Structure 1
Amino acid sequence: MTYDLSPPLDDAELDALHAAAFGGSPLGAPWRERLERHSLFWIAATLNGDLVGFVNVIGDGGVHAFLLDTCVAPDLQGRGIGASLVRRAAAEARRRGCHWLHADYEPHLVEFYERGCGMRPTAAGLLRLI
Structure 2
Amino acid sequence: MSGAGGGLELRAEVPALDEALALYDAVGWGAYTREPETLERALRGSGRVVTARRDGQLLGLARVVGDGAVIAYLQDVLVHPGAQGQGIGRRLVEEVFAPYEAVRQQVLLTDAEPGQRAFYEALGFVEAHDHDPGLRAFVRLH
Query: Could you state the TM-score of these two structures normalised by the residue count of structure 1?
Result: 0.83
Offset at 1:128?
2.6
Matches within 5 A, 1:80-119: 80-94=87-101, 97-108=102-113, 109-115=116-122, 117-119=123-125
Does the 8 Å CA contact 1:53/1:73 hold for their aligned counterparts?
Answer: yes
Unaligned runs of 5+ in 1: none
Matches within 5 A, 1:1-130: 1-5=8-12, 7-22=13-28, 24=30, 26-27=33-34, 29-30=36-37, 31-36=39-44, 38-60=45-67, 62-94=69-101, 97-108=102-113, 109-115=116-122, 117-122=123-128, 123-129=136-142
3-state secondary structure, aligned to 2:21: helix
Moved more, 56-65 or 20-29: 20-29
State the number of aligned residues.
Answer: 124
**Cα distance in 1 between the residues matched to 2:48 and 2:21:** 17
Residue 58 of structure 2 aligns to which amino acid in structure 1? L
Per-residue Cα deviation, 1:21-61 (whole angstroms, up to 9, x for no partner) = 1353843513443333x211110000110110001111136
3-state secondary structure, aligned to 2:82: helix
Larger Rg: 2
Offset at 1:126?
1.7
RMSD, aligned CA = 2.0
**Cα distance in 1 between the residues matched to 2:85 and 2:68:** 33
Unaligned runs of 5+ in 2: 1-7, 129-135
Residue 110 of structure 2 aligns to which amino acid in structure 1? Y
CA shift in 2, pair 1:107/1:3, >3 Å: same
Moved more, 43-52 or 20-29: 20-29
